[in-house]
Amino acid sequence: MKIGDKIPEILGTTADGTVLRASDFAGRKLVLYFYPKDNTPGCTAEACSLNDGLPALTEAGYAVVGVSKDSQESHRKFAEKYALKFPLIADTDLTLNEAFGVWQKKKMAGREYMGTVRTTFIIDENGTIADIITKVQTKDSAKQILDIRY
């Protein structure tokens, strides 16, 4: 997906079994962030930055939702461990990863594999992508979002 595209209506199922829809966020801005894996250093730093920055993000009119291919149970444990105050979508079938174009070939230590490319989508009040952050600063992701003006 690119700037100007409308996001899909069905976003996915959260750790508690709730099905999130784009219409749930109508009239609010949404931070939809994709990350590779629960409980890894970069993903934990990013989630904690967003959690710590949630009051400022909420004040600026944003809702926050994380997405990875991890299971609902993995998300539940991750959210409990770090007291995350926003939902995590369990995109186990990669529907959302593929729709947003973040499921890509990656390289690490000389091997190639498919994985989620860490990406943050800023979605406006009408469900349209307003900005995309591809160089996510995991430890400062909340500030990085708040610094965007669209």
Residues with a known catalytic role: 43
Per the CB < 8 A criterion, the answer to whether 12 and 96 are in contact is yes
- Strand segments (E) across the chain: 10-13, 19-21, 29-34, 62-68, 88-90, 103-108, 111-116, 119-123, 129-133
Assign 7 to helix, strand or coil.
coil
Q: What's the full length of the chain, in residues?
A: 150
